[in-house]
Amino acid sequence: MAMDLGEFEAFVVDQITRVDGGRSLREPIRAYAEQQGIPLG
């Protein structure tokens, strides 16, 4: 699996600190990963 970890890490950390606690982050994270061309198996 190939990805730039730094950018992805920043995105995930931003999401978990900013987003309201009850929401699932699965879809936004998936959308980001796909947008970056990261293969999800």
Residues that bind other proteins (CB under 8 A): 1-6, 8-9, 11-13, 15-16, 19-26, 29-30, 33, 38-41
Nearest approach, Cβ of 28 to other proteins (angstroms)? 9
Query: In angstroms, what is the minimal distance from the CB of 36 to other proteins?
Result: 10
CB of 22 to other proteins, least distance (A): 7
Q: Rounded to the nearest 5°, which phi and psi values hold at 18?
A: -95, -35
With beta carbons less than 8 A apart as the criterion, state whether 20 and 3 touch.
no
**Nearest one of 9, 15, 18, 17 to 27, comparing CA atoms:** 15
